[in-house]
Structure 1
Amino acid sequence: MTSRNLLVELLVEELPPKSLKQLGNSFAELLTASLKAQDLVSKEAQATAYASPRRLAVHITHVAAQAADKAIAQKLMPATVGLDEQGRATPPLLKKLASLGADASVVPQLKRVMEGKTETLFWDSTVKGTPLTEGLQKALEEAIGQLPIPKVMTYQLADGWSSVNFVRPVHVLIALHGADIVPINILGLQAGRETQGHRFEAKVNPIVLHNADSYAQQLAAEGTVIASFAERRAEIARQLAVAATRENLTPVDDDALLDEVTALVEHPNVLVGTFAAEFLQVPQECLILTMKANQKYFPLLDAQGKLANKFLLVSNIQPTDPSLVIGGNERVVHSRLADAQFFFDQDRKKTLASRVPELDKVVYHNELGMQGKRMHYVRAIAKMIGEQLGGNTLAAQAYEAATLAKADLLTDMVGEFPELQGIMGRYYAQHEDLSDDVAFAIEDHYKPRFSGDALPRNSVGIYVALADKLETLVNMFGIGKIPTGDKDPFALRRHALGVIRILIEKNLLLKLNVLIQQVIKIIYDPVIEDQWSQSFYKSNVGEKTVARGTRIRAVPEGLSEQLLAFIYERLAGSLREQGYSAQEVDAVLSLNPQNLSDIPKRLAAVRAFAALPEAVSLAAANKRVGNILKKSEGGISDAVNTDLLQEPAEQALYQTLTSLSSKTKEAFDSGDYTASLQILAALKSPVDTFFDHVMVNVEDESLRNNRLALLAQLHQIMNRVADLSKLAS
C-alpha cells in the first residue's frame, strides 16, 4: 500500500486563547489515535501538532492510502444449530453467512472448534482494509466530537439554513495525502488545498499548498505565520529576553501568560512601552496584575525584583514605524494604571477595622451564614493555637490578624482583582502602621495556596492560616460537604494538605486529634455562637440583646473521626508523591501518629531499618506475632511471670527484651527513632529461636497466657515507631 504523509487543517475564526494549546494537542492526538486504530498509520509514525489563533492542524508521517487486508476468524454459531444431520447448512447459518457477504459455497471451508463441551463453527475470512478517505472521515468526526471544548458555538453554514456546532466557525478544511486531496467533508466544508495566511501581512492569499510536507514552510514564507505553537512560543520568549536585556531589566516569569500571548499572535513582534513613574507608588502586585490580566503585557523588573516603569508588549504586526503601536498601548496602560491608583487611594481612606462589621453582610455559605460569623470562629481558633504555642502576646496578635484577615475583601482593589486578597490587606495594614507580624499574617493566612507554595513567614501567620483551614474543614464536614471523586468545590483537599504541611514543616508540637477536637468545641460552642449573635444584632438590628442559644448546633456523629481519616488519606498520598514507598507509609501511618511533625523522622527510621539484614525476618515475625495476638481469646496480661518461662528459647527472648526495652524506650522518648529501631536488630536470633522451639498455644492455660504476654511485650517494643509488619512481603 502507498504510504505518504498526511496534513489536516481547520481554518477557523479566532480561537479562545486560554484553550488553544490544549485544543491543538488534543486535535493531533485524537486524529492520530483514530487512524492508528484503523491500521492506517504505523505505530512508529510521528504526529506534529500545529495551532495558531486561526487554525488547528496536524501533520502525520507514514499514512497508508488503504489499510492492509486482515485475516480474521469469524465465530458463527454452534455446529448443532448451523448444520443438519447430513452436514448441510441450516437457514440460520445461511442467513448469518449472507450478513457476512458469503453463501453456502463456503460451508465446506468452515472449521469446527470445541469450546468447552460445545462444537462451534468458525469461518476464516479476509476483511478488506479501510481506505484513507473513509478512515480519515471517521477519524475527523471522532476528533471533533471529542475535543475538550469548554463552550460550543452554533453557527449557520453558507446555505443560510443548516447549522453546525464547533468552538468557532470553520471556513476552510484541508486534507492532503502527499500532494493529493483526500475527498472528505466536515462541518459543511469540502476538503481542498487552499488556506489563508496572516490577516494583514501575508505575502500571498490564498496560499495553495503543494503537498502535506510544505505546510509549515509555505505558511511562514508566503503567509507570514509561525504555525507551530511551540516554535511561536520559543520565538516570543527569545524576543522578550533580547528586548529586556537591552533595557537591563528582566521580564516577569509567567508561563501561563506566555502561553496565552502565544495563542493571540501568528507572527510575534516584541516592543517596549513605558508608563509614568508616579504609578510606581501603587503596590507593584497591583500594577503587574493589571498589565498581565487586562493587557497581556510582560512587566519588567530590575535586579532587585522591583517593578520598572517599562513593559513589553507582543504585537501581531510589524509596522515600519512601531511608534503608533507603542503609543496606543501606552495610552491604554495609563488608563488601567490610573484606575489601580484610584482604587488604592480610595481604599486607604477607610481602615481595615472599620470594614470588619461589613463582613456580616457577605454570605459565606447558605448553610453556615455570613463571612463575619465565620471569622468569629477563626479568630477564636487562632487565639487558642497562639496560647498553646506562643503565649499571650502572640495569641493576641493572632486574634487581631484573624479579625482583619478578610477585611480587604470589601476593598475596591480586591473587588477588581480577587487574586490580590490578602496581599492588599497587608499593604493597608502597613499603611495603618500595624505591626509587621499582623500585616504579614493577613497576607499569609491563605498560604499555602497551591502545591509547592511557600508557608506563612511568621508565627502569627502560621496560627491564623491553621485556624482558617481548620475552620473550613470542620464546618464543611459538619454540613456534609465532603469531597467525592474529582469533585471538591470548596478545595478541602488543598486545605487538608495545607494543615499537614504547616504542622510538619513548621515542626508544631500539636496533636492532630486534640487540635481537631478543640476546633470542633469552638465551632459548636453555644457561648461563642451567642457572642457573635449579640454583636451581629446590635450592629445590624439595633437590639442590644437576643435570646441566648437561638441556634445551638449538635456536633454531627463521628465528625472528628471522619475528618481525621480524611487528613490521613491526604497525608498518605502526599508522602507517596514525595517518594516514600506504600509499605513505608503504611508502616508509619498505621499507628495514627498524632504529632505529624514526627512523621518524617519515623519514615527515615523505617527506611534505615528496612536496609538492615535482619529486617525481613523481624518484619515477618512481627506480622506473625500480631496474628497470634489477634486470635487469642480473653485478655492478655501486661506482665510476664518468669517462673513460668520453662523453655530456654522463651527465657532467652525475655532476657533480650528486658535488656533492650529501656534502650529502645529511651531512644524513642528522645526522638531518635532510627536508633530505637536499629536496636531491634538484636532480636532476630532470639525471636527466630523462640518460634522454632516454643509452642505458644499449648493446652496449659497458664503457660499459654504467659507466652502470649511475652509476645505482647515483643509486639509493643517492636511497634513503637511504626507497624513493622507492614514491611513484610
Structure 2
Amino acid sequence: MTDKKDLLVELGTEDLPARLVLSQATELGEVLCEQLAEAELRFGEHRVFCTPRRLAVVVEQLDACQPDRLVERWGPAKAIAFDEAGNPTAAATGFARSCDIEVDQLQIESNSGEPKLVFREQRAGLEIQALLPELLKAVFGKLSVRKRMRWNAGEDEFIRPVRWLTVLYGTEIVSARAFGLTCGGVSYGHRFHSPKAIKIPQPSHYNRLLETEGHVLADFSARQEEILNQVSALATRAKAEPVYTQALLDEITGLVEWPQALLGEFDPRFLEVPREVLIITMQDKQKYIPLVDQAGMLLPRFIMLSNIDSAAPEQVRLGNEKVIVPRFEDASFFWQRDLARALESRLETLKDVVFEKELGNLHDKTLRTCRLAEAIGEELGADLQTCQRAARLSKCDLLTEIVTELPEMQGIAGRYMALHDGEEPAVAQAIEEQYLPRQAGGALPKSVPGQVLAIADKLDTLVGIFAIGKKPTGLKDPYGLRRAALGVLRILVETELNIDLPSALKRAGGLFPAKLATDAVIGEVHEYMIKRLYAYFSARDVAHDVIDAVLANRPASPFDIATRIDAVARFRKLEDAARLAAANKRIRNILKKTAGAEPGAVQKELLRQDAETDLYTAIEAMSRDVEDLFHQRQYEQALRKLAGLRQPIDSFFDHVMVMDDDEALKINRIALLARIDALFMHVADFSRLQS
C-alpha cells in the first residue's frame, strides 16, 4: 500500500476568455484524472478552480507510486526467430533489442499451440515525482484549445500566455517544466488587491489562502453564488427583478475574481427604444444585468459587477453609467431611422441580398415561404390572409439598421415595426415567432400563424440547402439545419399540429427548380428529420425499442408519432403487454415465412377448433370499436381493448396448428393471424419491443 497525498496543478495565465473559463478548467481536471488513471495511479475526488487568471485542479489522495507490474511481450514464432542452424534471425534480434536485452535472455513458450519468443520482466512502479513531468506535458497537450497563441520568443502554445505554474504533491514542489516555466510552490492573488506571491504549503490550503490572502474566490460555484447574493440584495433594494440567463451569469463569473455588485441608472428617455434592444445591449455588450418591475416592465436601472472592492465605488458606478450612454444613443438613432420607413418598403430591396448563390436572393425565399405558408395554413385551418401577410413581411427587418447592429433583433424588430405601421397584431406576432425556437429547449410560437410561418421558413431552408448538396457533416452545420429540423419537429409535436411531413416537404421542394429538389432530395431531408425525431425522443428517456416499433410503420405526422409513442410506452406497463408483444413477434415471424401469399379474408366456415373460433369471435367483437379509436388517434384506449386478446391468442397457439397439412385450413389460420397483426400495426410494430 503506497502513501497518498493531494496533488495541486495550477496554470496562472493572462486573462482568459470569460466564456471558456469554466469549460477549460473542467477539461483540465478530466484530462489530468484520465492520465493519472492510465498511469495506474489511484486517487479520490478532484476539484477544479478557475478565475480569469488561473485554471487549477486539486486531486485528493493520489498514490505516491505506481504499483509494481509484470511486463509481458510476445515476439515472433520460433520458426521465424531462428534459422535451420539455430542461429537467431533479424526478427529475433530486433525483438530482443526492442526489449533492451539479449536474445538468449528471451524465453520460448507455446502461445495458441505455437512456440514463440516471450519477454517477461517484473518492473517496479515509478514514483509520482518521476511520472509527473511527462504526464503533465501530455495533459497540457491534450486540452482542446481551438485557437492557441504563442508569446515572447518561445514555441509553447496555449489559449493565453502562461505566467506561472504551480505543481505540489503534498508539501513537495514537483520538479517539472512546461510553457517555458519551472514549477513552483506559489500562486498569485488579485491583480490589484494582492498582487504578491502567496506560498501554498499544501494543496488543501489552496482555496482558503487565495480567498484570505489573495482577494480571490477561486471556486467558480462559490463565486457565482456570491454574485447572485449581491445581485439579489441590490434588486430587492431597488424593488425590482434581475433579468439574466445562465450563460450571462457564467460569463460574468468568468470575468471577476473578487466580485462587487453595484447599482447603476440610465436616462429614462431611452425606454422609448424597444426593451429588447436595451436588454441585448446591456447583457451582450456590457455584461450588465437589467432590472424589471413586478409587471415585467424594464426599469432605467441595472446591476454591474466590478472586479475590485473600490475605495470609491461611486466613481466606478458613474464610469459604467457613462459607458452605456453612447451605446444607447446609437441604438436610439438607428431605431428612429428605421421607423422613418415602412417595413414593407424594404421588400423589393431583398432582391439585392443573396440568400444562397444557387437558391436565389431573400426576395425569392420570401415568395417561396409565402406559397408554402399558404399551403400549410390551409391544412391547419389557419387564417390564410394573416399567414400570407406575415410571410410577405417576414424578412424585411433584416435590412434595418437596428438588426444590422444587433442581429439578435431579427423578428423582434419586425414585430415592433409592423405594429408601428398599423399591421394586425397577429401579423406582427407571427413575424417575431418565425424564428422560434431560438435555441435548444427555447420557447415555441404560440400563435397559429406564427407556427405556420416558422414551419414554412425552416422547411424551405432545409429542402433548399439539401438540394444544393450542403447538408450538415460531422460538426459542421453552417446553415443551422439541425436546429431548423428540430425546431419544426418540436413545433409539430409540442403544439400538437397534425401535419403530413412528407407531403409538406414535397410541397416545399415543388417551389424549387425540378433539377434541384428531386424526389431523392425530399426523401433525404425526410430521413434526416426522422433521425432528429429519434434523437428528440431518446433525449426524453423514451425506450429505444418503443421508438423503433412506432417508426417502423413510418407514420407521416410527427405529432401522430408522438401520440403513438406515448400510447405504446403506457401499454407496455400493462400486465398482459409482455406476453402480447411475444405473441405478436411470433405472428410476425409466421407471416414472414408465408410472405408473398395473400391470405385474404377469414372464412368462418373453415374455423374447425374452438380456440380459433374463440379468437375470431373476440376480434370481431372489438374490431369496429378499435378501428374507430384508431381513426380518432385514441391509441392508448385502442391498445387497452386489444389487450383483451391476450387469452384467446395464447389459447390459439396452445391448441391450433397453424401450418396444417390442409392447405385451406393453413391459409385461413394465416389470415386470422394477419388480421391480428393488422390491428396492432395500426399503432406500431410490436414485434420490435424487447421483453
Please state whether the residue corresponding to 1:166 is helix, strand or coil.
Answer: coil
Is 1:680 the counterpart of 2:672? The answer is no
Alignment-mate amino acid for residue 139 of structure 2? A
> Taking structure 1 as reference, are residues 640 and 8 closer, same or farther at Cα in structure 2, changes over 3 Å only?
closer
In the TM superposition, what is the alpha-carbon distance from 1:679 to its structure 2 partner? 2.0
Answer with 73-82 or 63-72: which moved more: 73-82
Select the residue among 137, 153, 156 that pairs with 1:141: 137
> Taking structure 1 as reference, are residues 36 and 647 closer, same or farther at Cα in structure 2, changes over 3 Å only?
closer
Count of equivalent residues: 690
Please state whether the residue corresponding to 2:150 is helix, strand or coil.
Answer: strand
Q: Which aligned pairs between 1:580-659 and structure 2 lie closer than 5 A?
A: 580-632=542-594, 634-659=596-621
| Partner deviation per Cα, 1:398-436 (whole Å, 9 max, x = no partner) | 111011111111111111111111111111111112111
TM-score by length of structure 1 reads 0.88
Alignment-mate amino acid for residue 134 of structure 1? A
2-side partners of 1:68 and 1:688: how far apart?
Answer: 60
Is 1:8 the counterpart of 2:36? The answer is no
Please state whether the residue corresponding to 2:165 is helix, strand or coil.
Answer: strand
Is 1:724 the counterpart of 2:686? The answer is yes
> Taking structure 1 as reference, are residues 89 and 378 closer, same or farther at Cα in structure 2, changes over 3 Å only?
closer
Please state whether the residue corresponding to 2:473 is helix, strand or coil.
Answer: coil
In the TM superposition, what is the alpha-carbon distance from 1:330 to its structure 2 partner? 0.9
Contact 1:503–1:597 (CA under 8 A) maintained in structure 2: yes
> Taking structure 1 as reference, are residues 685 and 175 closer, same or farther at Cα in structure 2, changes over 3 Å only?
closer
Please state whether the residue corresponding to 1:153 is helix, strand or coil.
Answer: coil
Q: In the alignment, what sits opposite 1:438?
A: 427
Is 1:573 the counterpart of 2:573? The answer is no
In the TM superposition, what is the alpha-carbon distance from 1:454 to its structure 2 partner? 1.8
Q: Which aligned pairs between 1:1-80 and structure 2 lie closer than 5 A?
A: 1-39=2-40, 41-43=41-43, 45-78=44-77
Q: In the alignment, what sits opposite 1:428?
A: 417
Alignment-mate amino acid for residue 231 of structure 2? L
Q: Which aligned pairs between 1:55-204 and structure 2 lie closer than 5 A?
A: 55-78=54-77, 96=95, 99-102=98-101, 110=107, 113-157=109-153, 162-202=154-194
1-side partners of 2:338 and 2:349: how far apart?
Answer: 14
Q: In the alignment, what sits opposite 2:339?
A: 348
Contact 2:18–2:254 (CA under 8 A) maintained in structure 1: yes
Alignment-mate amino acid for residue 216 of structure 1? N
Alignment-mate amino acid for residue 49 of structure 1? V
Alignment-mate amino acid for residue 42 of structure 1? R
Contact 2:66–2:125 (CA under 8 A) maintained in structure 1: yes
Q: Which runs of 5+ in 1 are unaligned?
A: 525-551
In the TM superposition, what is the alpha-carbon distance from 1:99 to its structure 2 partner? 4.8
Contact 2:509–2:518 (CA under 8 A) maintained in structure 1: no
Q: In the alignment, what sits opposite 2:479?
A: 490
Q: In the alignment, what sits opposite 1:538?
A: none
> Taking structure 1 as reference, are residues 32 and 589 closer, same or farther at Cα in structure 2, changes over 3 Å only?
closer
1-side partners of 2:570 and 2:284: how far apart?
Answer: 50
Q: Which runs of 5+ in 2 are unaligned?
A: none
Q: Which aligned pairs between 1:688-699 and structure 2 lie closer than 5 A?
A: 688-699=650-661
2-side partners of 1:169 and 1:671: how far apart?
Answer: 62
In the TM superposition, what is the alpha-carbon distance from 1:500 to its structure 2 partner? 1.9
Q: In the alignment, what sits opposite 1:562?
A: 524
TM-score by length of structure 2 reads 0.93
| Partner deviation per Cα, 1:623-677 (whole Å, 9 max, x = no partner) | 2222322332544143223333334433333333222222222332333322222
2-side partners of 1:656 and 1:244: how far apart?
Answer: 68
Alignment-mate amino acid for residue 498 of structure 1? G
Is 1:502 the counterpart of 2:498? The answer is no
1-side partners of 2:575 and 2:187: how far apart?
Answer: 69
Please state whether the residue corresponding to 1:163 is helix, strand or coil.
Answer: coil
In the TM superposition, what is the alpha-carbon distance from 1:710 to its structure 2 partner? 2.6
1-side partners of 2:534 and 2:508: how far apart?
Answer: 23
> Taking structure 1 as reference, are residues 95 and 655 closer, same or farther at Cα in structure 2, changes over 3 Å only?
closer
> Taking structure 1 as reference, are residues 193 and 597 closer, same or farther at Cα in structure 2, changes over 3 Å only?
closer
Contact 1:440–1:457 (CA under 8 A) maintained in structure 2: no
Alignment-mate amino acid for residue 593 of structure 1? P
Alignment-mate amino acid for residue 127 of structure 1? R
1-side partners of 2:508 and 2:51: how far apart?
Answer: 52
| Partner deviation per Cα, 1:529-565 (whole Å, 9 max, x = no partner) | xxxxxxxxxxxxxxxxxxxxxxx64641323332322
Is 1:299 the counterpart of 2:286? The answer is no
Q: In the alignment, what sits opposite 1:318?
A: 309
1-side partners of 2:206 and 2:675: how far apart?
Answer: 76
In the TM superposition, what is the alpha-carbon distance from 1:48 to its structure 2 partner? 2.1
In the TM superposition, what is the alpha-carbon distance from 1:344 to its structure 2 partner? 1.2
Contact 2:467–2:516 (CA under 8 A) maintained in structure 1: no
2-side partners of 1:681 and 1:266: how far apart?
Answer: 63
> Taking structure 1 as reference, are residues 583 and 127 closer, same or farther at Cα in structure 2, changes over 3 Å only?
same
> Taking structure 1 as reference, are residues 613 and 200 closer, same or farther at Cα in structure 2, changes over 3 Å only?
closer
> Taking structure 1 as reference, are residues 516 and 117 closer, same or farther at Cα in structure 2, changes over 3 Å only?
same
> Taking structure 1 as reference, are residues 338 and 636 closer, same or farther at Cα in structure 2, changes over 3 Å only?
same
Contact 1:74–1:125 (CA under 8 A) maintained in structure 2: no
2-side partners of 1:227 and 1:508: how far apart?
Answer: 49
In the TM superposition, what is the alpha-carbon distance from 1:607 to its structure 2 partner? 3.1
Answer with 609-618 or 407-416: which moved more: 609-618
2-side partners of 1:236 and 1:343: how far apart?
Answer: 34
Select the residue among 412, 434, 459 that pairs with 2:401: 412
Q: In the alignment, what sits opposite 2:201?
A: 210
Q: In the alignment, what sits opposite 1:285?
A: 276
In the TM superposition, what is the alpha-carbon distance from 1:241 to its structure 2 partner? 1.4
In the TM superposition, what is the alpha-carbon distance from 1:97 to its structure 2 partner? 5.1
Alignment-mate amino acid for residue 348 of structure 1? L
2-side partners of 1:74 and 1:565: how far apart?
Answer: 49
Answer with 480-489 or 453-462: which moved more: 480-489
| Partner deviation per Cα, 1:321-379 (whole Å, 9 max, x = no partner) | 21211111111111111111111111101111001111111111121111110111001
2-side partners of 1:621 and 1:134: how far apart?
Answer: 64
Is 1:708 the counterpart of 2:680? The answer is no
In the TM superposition, what is the alpha-carbon distance from 1:257 to its structure 2 partner? 1.5
2-side partners of 1:149 and 1:337: how far apart?
Answer: 35
1-side partners of 2:64 and 2:369: how far apart?
Answer: 68
Contact 1:636–1:708 (CA under 8 A) maintained in structure 2: no
Contact 2:8–2:59 (CA under 8 A) maintained in structure 1: yes
Contact 1:35–1:135 (CA under 8 A) maintained in structure 2: no
Please provide the CA RMSD for this pair: 2.7
> Taking structure 1 as reference, are residues 675 and 457 closer, same or farther at Cα in structure 2, changes over 3 Å only?
closer
Contact 1:156–1:164 (CA under 8 A) maintained in structure 2: no
Contact 1:250–1:300 (CA under 8 A) maintained in structure 2: yes
In the TM superposition, what is the alpha-carbon distance from 1:461 to its structure 2 partner? 0.8
Contact 1:398–1:464 (CA under 8 A) maintained in structure 2: yes
